[in-house]
Each structure stands twice: as structure tokens, then as C-alpha cells.
A and B are shown apart, each in its own frame.
Chain A
Amino acid sequence: MTQPASPDAPPIQAQGLSKTYKVGFWFNRTVRALQGLDLEVGAGQIYGLLGPNGAGKSTTIKILMNLVRPTHGSAHLFGQPVTSAATRRLVGFLPENPSPYEYLTGREFVTLAGHLSGLTRHELDQRVTEVLGAVELGSAEKLQIRRYSKGMVQRVALAQALVGKPKMLILDEPTSGLDPVGRRQMRDLILAERDRGTTVLFCSHIIPDVEALCDRLAVLVGGRRVREGSVQELLSAQVPTMEMVVEGLKVDQVKGLGVALESALALDGRVLVQVADADSQRLLGSVLTAGGRVNRMQPARFSLEQLFMDALKESGRATSVGGEINT
């Protein structure tokens, strides 16, 4: 018999998750969307899944929400298998490009979600008003969803995820397609939920969102996890790099100085150079000896974008790609 979900158990535990889709008219081709993914998300964290299109982010989330069955591996939410309906009482879910029932008004839709989340009639009305207010849809609650803008649809979908007072939110590309104001509001709402103690798992390919929100993250490429850790850990693990602006020398001359460069870019009569910190003094000396000048030298700012691009390069995938296709 299935045990009730425990709010004290780790919100997400997944081991060896793999998913292979059969595609084509005769289902004779396979697409490996996920390959042996391990994932553990602790309580109260904002955990991000970062990756290019087809990296397996949405498949992971769909497995956790029991929308897709894994080919191999197991996944648990709050200590219970994801197939247990009762477990989802503790989870709020916002899918990518959500599609609520358009014939309902915002209020009717969130009320339906409240009923399905197990709220009693007594608490429902107040809670629906509360969440519609939180997503700033109070004035549009009586409008049919078919009349909503994309941003409003995203917000009503977030309201339905919040209505059941979840212990964990699972958000698939929550800021995708939103204008800058909408993105900011969505980010603020996610942070407010974290401050209330809600665990948040979200996936995105918008790096600034991940950088701004996440405590920990995993980078997925081609269905595999290629990096995992806290944002600080991951950034500090990058090789320290210096950035220099060289004048008086051409880009080829700088490249010919015999110092290994990470990059050299001609820029309006100047050369923008990135070099490992350990080689920076040697490059400085060489530039001066060759008759050039260095008018600026500073540590390069490490970014998730660099980390992400490095991870893609290491995986042999310089561009965003889908899952592996086998015929």
C-alpha cells in the first residue's frame, strides 16, 4: 500500500532516469531524450535545470509530474513514487506554454484547480482571491481566458499552481515569451515563494533568469547532466581569466607573441584579449616589448553563459540540438 507523502522527505530524488521515445510512422526510430539522469533537490532550494533545446529538461519535468513514464530509472517526490496521485497534493506545476480551459474565466479556472488540489469549499474562495491578487489578475478574474494576453495566461497558470499551497513548485520555462516586465514579475513571485519556504524546480534556457534565481543548478546537454552544483561553486571552478585591451598592435601580432590566448578580437583599432590569469603578466611584458600598450587590464567576469558554452563545447555540441536520434 502507498504511504502518504511526507513533507519532510527530500522534495525530489531521481536515479538513473532515461527516456527513449519511439518516433516515425512505424515507430522504428528512437530518440533518446534522457540518459541516466540523477537528481536530488533539497527542501527550500531554487534548483534550475539549464540546457539547450532538446537537452531533456522538459522530459525530466514531465517524468516528475507523471505525464511521461521513464524507460529506466525511478523518481520520487517527497519520498513517494511520482505515480502516486496523492504526492501531487504537495506540488504545484506550471507547464511550458500553459493552455488552461479557454471557456472558463480566470476565477473559474483557478477555483477548479483548487477543487482538484483538495481545498475545502470553506478555504477555496479566500485562497482563489489571494492567488489571483498575487499574480495581479484580480481585475481580470471574470474575463474568459480566451481573451487573456500571453502574459495573463502565464499568470493564471501560475495562480493554479499556487492555489493548493504547494510545498514545491515545478516550473517549465516560466519566463519564456514574457515581456521584460512580465519576466520581472515572474521572478519576483518565484523568489517570494522561496522566501515562504517553498522548494522550486525550474527549467529554462534563459541564462540570466537562472543566474538571478537559482541556488543550485544542473546543466543538461543531450539528455545527460554535464555540470551540477551551487551557482557559486560552478562559477568559482572556472579557470580565472584576465581581460586586456591592447593598442598599437594588430590582432595577428598579438597572436604571434608566443603566449597562449583564450581569445583575441580586433575592435576599432584595438585588440580585446582574454588570457589565463597565470599567463597575463607574461603577455603584458611581451606586448610592451613589441611596442604595444595595454590601456586596460581587469579580471574577466565569470558568467553562467561561459559555463554553459564550455559545457556545450566539452559535450561536442557547439549549437543547441535535440535528443539523440537513432534509426
Chain B
Amino acid sequence: MSAFGAMVWNGFREARRNRVTVVVGAFAAVVMLSSTLVTEVTVATFDRVLTDFGLGMMSLILVFLTIFLSSGLLSREIERRTIFLIVSKPVSRTQFLLARLAGNMLTLALLMVAMMLIFDSQLLLFGAKITSTQYVAAAGLWFELLVLSSAGILFSSFAGPMVSAVCTTGLYFAGHLAGDLLDIARRAESETVQELTQALYYLLPNLERLNFRSHAAYDLPVDVTTFASSAGYAVAWAMVFTAISLFIFERRDFR
């Protein structure tokens, strides 16, 4: 195994042995299985409610876990001085940071796969339809988690876990409201407000571009171009956040 691979695997192992991940994983399983309860409140829109609830819960739980894992990723290593024993090896700080991000994304991907398996078995159990758009929605969620993870790591490169978590949570909500900012810009009469809201829109990642859950609930097709441009958009934002993190992290003193 290469040094990079070993660090990625270690990141995954850390998350797997973290009690919070285990508890959240168990909670996710319980919540997904309890989707039977929501079927009680619907008659005609059975498939839609099941899909909406399942994917919504998946998003909520994984976003929480992403914020928890990523916001302390670097700051905890620096505070506990575990980083001394790693960056003193023949690996660059860039490799270390990218491996931590990759380890985080691997953990989230595997949890997502497990949650999708439970989700699909629920659908099969109730005779509801499994559609490709449900998988597109899950993939969109993974790209959203990539943006949030890289933002969490960025905040974590200069602030403590608490501040990083608050900032990442703020970015999550602001990112989902970014589309509204553009609406405000269009409707505002003041030129200053228009410019300000427009500037804010371009400074924030529009996370709604990665939300295909309503497509999945209504079984609407998502064309390849739309998905590819959204995925590219997420990767671009993740690259921007990671580049800034690297710029800061490479110059930091570990006292």
C-alpha cells in the first residue's frame, strides 16, 4: 500500500472506530427502517412519500456526520499533536490533507451505500418502484457532501472544531438558500442590493444544484448533461476550498 493509500485507509478506520459514527450509523438504520410508519399517512402517493422520506433522512444524517467528521479533521490532529508523528514522515502536507479528505469521502460513500441498501430493501418490501433517479439523487448528495467536507476541512485548517462546525453548518444553509439570493437580486429595486446579493450568490456554492431528491420523488428524469454539470460544479467548489486549505495548511506552524 502506498503512503497515500495508508493514510486514506487510516482515515476510514478512524471514522469506523469513532463512537459517533457507529451511533449515527445505527440511528440511520433505525430511521430508514421506520419509514414503514410514514406509509401509514398516505394512500395514493405511497412511492413518493417513501422515496422522499428515505432520501431526506439519508441527506440529513449524512450531512450531520459530514459536518462532525470534517470540521475537526485538521484542528483535532493539531490540538492533540497526532499530526507530529505523521507529517514528520516522508509525506508532504498536501498528501496528508488530500488523504484525510479522501478518507472522509470513502467513509461517507460506504455509509451511503449501506443506507441505499436499506432504502432499496424497504422499497422492495412495500412493492414500490426502484428507479435510476433515486441513485442519481444519492450521487448528487455525495457531491454535496464533498463540497461540505472540503469546506469543513478549510475551516478546520485555521479554526477549532466548534467554530469549524458552526461555519460549515452556516455554509450548508446558506448554500441551500443561494438560489433565493439570485431571486432577490432580480426583484430588488435598489442597485446596491442587486449587486450585493448577486455577489453573495457567486461567493457561495449553490447546493440546490446538487439536490435531485424531488426528481426522485416524482420520478422525473435527470439528463446526463444536467447531472454532469452539477457534479463538475461541486468538484470545482471542492477544489477551490481544498486549494485555500492547502495554502493555509502548508504555511502553518505546528507548535
Residues of A that sit less than 8 Å from B by CB = 21, 62, 65-69, 85-89, 91, 93, 95, 97-101, 103-104, 108, 112-113, 115-118, 121, 157, 160, 164
Contact status A115-B85, CB under 8 Å: no
Taking a contact as CB atoms under 8 Å apart, the answer to whether A100 and B85 are in contact is yes
Q: Which of B13, B86, B88, B90 contacts A104 (CB 8 A)?
A: B13
Closest Cβ–Cβ distance, residue A94 to chain B (whole Å): 9
Closest Cβ–Cβ distance, residue B21 to chain A (whole Å): 11
A113 touches B254 (CB 8 A): no
A-B pairs, 7 with minimum CB distance:
A115-B6, A116-B89, A93-B88, A89-B90, A103-B17, A95-B84, A67-B254
Residues of A within 8 A of B3 (CB): 115-116, 118
Task: Specify the chain B residue showing the minimal Cβ separation from A163.
Answer: B89
Q: Does B162 contact A (CB under 8 A)?
A: no
A228 vs B253: C-alpha distance when bound (angstroms) = 28
B48, chain A: closest CB distance, angstroms? 42
Among candidates B7, B10, B253, residue contacting A67 with C-beta atoms closer than 8 Å:
B253
Q: Which residues of chain B in 66-113 are interfacial with respect to chain A, using CB atoms and an 8 Å cutoff?
A: 80-82, 84-92
How distant is B135 from chain A, measured CB to nearest CB, in Å? Answer: 33
Mask of B217-232 contacts with A, CB within 8 angstroms, 1/0: 0000000000000000
Q: Which of B1-39 contact A (CB under 8 A)?
A: 1-3, 5-7, 10, 13-14, 17-18
For this complex, 24 residue pairs linking A to B, each with C-beta atoms less than 8 Å apart, are A67-B253, A68-B254, A68-B255, A85-B90, A87-B90, A88-B90, A91-B88, A95-B88, A98-B85, A99-B80, A99-B82, A100-B82, A101-B10, A103-B18, A108-B13, A115-B1, A115-B2, A115-B3, A115-B5, A116-B6, A116-B86, A116-B90, A118-B90, A121-B1
Known A-B contacts A101-B14, A103-B13; the reply to A67 vs B85 at CB < 8 A is no
Residues of A within 8 A of B87 (CB): 66-67
**Per a CB cutoff under 8 Å, which of A21, A67, A86, A89 touches B84?**
A67
What CA separation (Å) do A256 and B109 show in the bound complex?
85
| Chain B residues whose CB sits within 8 angstroms of the CB of A62 once the complex forms | 253-255
- The interface residues of chain A lying within 8 Å CB-to-CB of B1 are 115, 121
Give the contacting residue for B253; candidates A68, A85, A101; CB below 8 A.
Answer: A68
| Chain B residue at minimum C-beta to C-beta distance from A65 | B88
Chain A residues positioned under 8 Å from B187 (CB to CB) = none
CA distance A115 to B7 in the complex (A): 9
Among A85, A89, A99, A121, contact of B85 (Cβ-Cβ < 8 Å): A99
- Chain A residues whose CB sits within 8 angstroms of the CB of B13 once the complex forms: 103-104, 108
Residues of A within 8 A of B85 (CB): 93, 95, 98-100, 113, 157, 160
Chain A contacts for B253, CB-based, 8 A: 21, 62, 67-69
Q: Give the A-binding residues of B (Cβ under 8 A).
A: 1-3, 5-7, 10, 13-14, 17-18, 80-82, 84-92, 251, 253-255
**Which A residues are in CB contact (< 8 Å) with B92?**
85
Min CB distance A41 to B, Å, is: 17
- Return chain B residues, CB-CB under 8 Å to A67: 84, 87-88, 253-254
Q: Are B7 and A116 in contact (CB under 8 A)?
A: yes
Q: Are A21 and B82 in contact (CB under 8 A)?
A: no
Chain B residue contacts of A160, Cβ below 8 A: 85
If A95-B85, A117-B89 touch, whether A112 touches B10 (CB-CB below 8 Å) is yes
> Apart from A93-B88, A99-B84, A100-B82, what are 18 other A-B pairs with CB-CB below 8 Å?
A65-B84, A66-B88, A67-B87, A67-B253, A68-B253, A85-B90, A86-B90, A91-B88, A95-B84, A95-B85, A99-B85, A101-B82, A104-B10, A112-B7, A113-B85, A116-B91, A117-B90, A164-B89
In angstroms, Cα B82 to Cα A116, docked, is: 14
Instruction: Name the residue among A85, A88, A91, A97 with the largest chain B CB count within 10 angstroms.
Output: A85
Nearest-CB distance from B104 to chain A (Å)? 15
Smallest beta-carbon distance B158→chain A, Å: 13
B90 near A99 with CB under 8 A, answer: no
Nearest CB on A from B22, distance (A): 12
Tell me which residues across on chain B come within 8 A of A68, comparing CB atoms.
253-255
Q: With the chains together, A249 CA to B57 CA distance in Å?
A: 91
Cβ contact within 8 Å between A21 and B10: no
- How distant is the Cα of A103 from the Cα of B90 in the complex, in angstroms? 23
Closest to A68 in B: B253
Within the assembled complex, what's the spacing in Å between the Cα atoms of A227 and B213?
70
In angstroms, Cα B91 to Cα A303, docked, is: 42
CB neighbours (8 Å) of B7 from chain A are: 112, 116
Q: Give bound CA distance, A285 to B126, whole Å.
A: 111
Contact call A95/B90, Cβ cutoff below 8 A:
no
Residue numbers in A under 8 Å from B86 (CB-CB): 116
CA distance A108 to B17 in the complex (A): 13
Bound form: Cα–Cα A165–B6 in Å: 19
Residue of A with least CB distance to B16: A103
Q: Shortest distance in angstroms between A67's beta carbon and chain B's nearest beta carbon?
A: 4
Closest chain A CB from B130 CB (angstroms) = 37
Distance from A2 Cβ to chain B, minimum over Cβ atoms (Å): 12
